[in-house]
Amino acid sequence: MADWWDAVELWLTQLPFGFQVVLATVVLVPLCWGTAVLSDRVVDAATARIAARRAARQD
């Protein structure tokens, strides 16, 4: 696995800068978007559970 990653890293660093930017954008934008959506859902679920517990305690 480490040898494969080293080969990918070497290939990427030898690309012209414009291609590096495009490749990073194509990979990082969806990755960051997915991470943001996942964290938003986790926080929403946790907040809903906390609110439900507080409402149950008040009844």
Dihedral sign (CA 39, 44, 45, 50): positive
Residue that wins the pLDDT comparison between 45 and 59: 45
What distance in Å separates the CA atoms of residue 35 and residue 29, rounded to the nearest whole number?
A: 10
With a CB cutoff of 8 Å and minimum separation 6, the contacts of 23 are 12, 15
CB-based burial, 39-54: b 16+ in 10 Å, e otherwise: eeeeeeeeeeeeeeee
What distance in Å separates the CA atoms of residue 51 and residue 34, rounded to the nearest whole number?
A: 26
- The pLDDT tens digits of the residues spanning 4-52 come to 999 988 998 999 999 999 998 999 999 999 999 999 999 999 999 999 9
Residue 17 has a pLDDT of 95
Residue 1 has a pLDDT of 86
